[in-house]
Amino acid sequence: MQQVLLRIPLKADWLPAGLPLWLVLLVIILALAAAMYAIAPLAPRWKIHPKNVQAVAGWVAVAGLVVGALAYFFADTGLPIYGFGMMLFLAFIVCNWVGGRRAEHEGVPKEVVQDLGIWLIVGGLIGARLTSLFSSGHMPESLWKGVIQFISIWDGGIVLYGAVIGGLVAYVIAYFVVFRKIGVSTLKLADILAPTLAVGLGLGRIGCFLNGCCYGQVAAADCPICAVSFPLSAPPRYEMVNKGYQTAAGFTLAADKTEAVVAQVEPGSSADRAGLKAGDVILEADDAPLSGAQSRFPGSSPVDNLDQYMGNFGSWPRGKNDLTLEVRGGDGATRTMTLRPWTLGLHPTQLYEVVSMILLFLLLTAYYPFRRHDGQVVALLMIGYAVHRYLNEMLRADERPVGFESWTSIILFVAGVALWLYLWRQPAQYRLQTRETVAPLRKSATTASNPAAT
């Protein structure tokens, strides 16, 4: 619903003319890094190892290069903060905190979970993006375009089950490289992370909702669930138009392409409310003419120019939800109007999953004290998520590997049930502490602390 949360302005009018902000930031941060590196030999005075200061100086220099590059490339538009990327970042922070607290409660250092989280998120993102690229059927034209498309996670295109596969591969590598030396069992770590994963999935789906991806089918008019409409820049708009369910902005154009003549206007649409009439001629769209050398696509007819601008060709600005038109009416007078169209009401499948993950998190947290063996909590996560995902897939309408996700849900469900039953048949590793079992322990502890009482 809000692809771009905000834009950080990167223009500094107070700087002398001709001096770009990116250069100023780069010089200042690199100078700071050089100063830190120079004073590193003095660090022992403050009981700090010089190599630690030098390492920090190196990271500051890297940060300077990144900041300078961002200020250079986004100088005109401002640095966009995307809703999807922000929710992924928030999920990483919250999951580390929740997982760390659970780990400490189970006697595992929280640093173990935090380190594991980095392995899992990197492996998961790689697996999710690779699955999305290979299953989309639209392979990039060149290696460079493939790299750009791969790292553009803010555009969505993250297949969850691909992330699961990538995360498992990353864990296997991390286990042999790092975690085998610690002595913490895999099933215990999985149980610690299980409620955390539910939290991360819920936050991630909020990011999907903000981005407009992973959307549902058109909701019936009498659907008891509150349907959600998405704005002009969201992916559902393209899908609804391509399927012929609706127009892009509430109007159609005449077949004659010599001029962009409005053929029909949808009653009650944003175009209708703005005063667009059948027979009006559209001259400009967002301050660009539809014909001539100054148009966005020179050589194209006015109709094709507008169609390519609003169509799914990558021309539409990300996060832009309005369309400003300059039209000429039947009386020859020109007027300007701004349209803010929305899609048909769709099932908010992203929010369905948010609710499901909240319930699943509560279930896993409540079940934790009742587990008999390490691994039963993550098995319950596998069962619960597989059931939700299989049912939710029936309502989704976005482009995705449907067969892969449905069959993976079935496999995940079977594996979860098998793991849970196998662990249930094993000797109990934990016993539920009831009042009857806790009272003798408290009595013995009191006796040990006060021998005179015996």
Helix (H, G, I), strand (E, B) or coil at 298: coil
Alpha-carbon distance of 125 to 160, in angstroms, equals 9
Query: pLDDT at residue 24 above 70?
Result: yes
Q: What is the pLDDT of residues 5-16, one digit of tens each?
A: 888 888 877 788
Q: What is the pLDDT of residue 453?
A: 47
**Which residue would you say has higher pLDDT here, 153 or 333?**
333
Q: What is the pLDDT of residues 406-442, one digit of tens each?
A: 999 999 999 999 999 999 999 888 887 555 544 444 4
Structural contact between residues 280 and 329, judged by C-beta atoms closer than 8 angstroms: yes
Which residues contact residue 435 at a Cβ distance below 8 angstroms, ignoring those fewer than 6 apart? none
Sorted by where each begins, the domain ranges of the chain are 21-74, 83-216+348-435, 235-339
Q: What is the pLDDT of residue 12?
A: 78
- Rounded to two decimals, the pTM is 0.82
Planar angle of CA 314, 318, 324, nearest 5 degrees: 95
Q: Which residues pair with 4 in a beta bridge?
A: 82
Q: Report the 10 Å Cβ neighbour count for 153.
A: 17
Using DSSP bridges, classify how beta strands 79-82 and 251-253 pair: parallel, antiparallel or unpaired. unpaired
Q: Which CATH architecture has domain 235-339?
A: Roll (2.30)
**Which residue would you say has higher pLDDT here, 140 or 69?**
69
Q: What is the pLDDT of residues 349-378, one digit of tens each?
A: 999 999 999 999 999 999 999 999 999 999
State the average pLDDT over residues 28-45.
Answer: 93
Ramachandran sector of residue 8 (left: φ over 0; alpha: ψ -120 to 50; beta: rest): beta
Q: What is the pLDDT of residues 304-346, one digit of tens each?
A: 999 888 875 556 888 889 999 999 998 899 999 999 999 999 9
Q: What is the pLDDT of residue 443?
A: 52
- Across the chain, what does the average pLDDT equal? 87
Q: How far is CA 248 from the centre of its chain?
A: 25
Buried b / exposed e along 249-280 (16+ C-beta atoms within 10 A): bbbebbeeeebbbbeebbeebbbeebebeeeb
Which residues contact residue 359 at a Cβ distance below 8 angstroms, ignoring those fewer than 6 apart? none
State the average pLDDT over residues 79-83.
Answer: 88
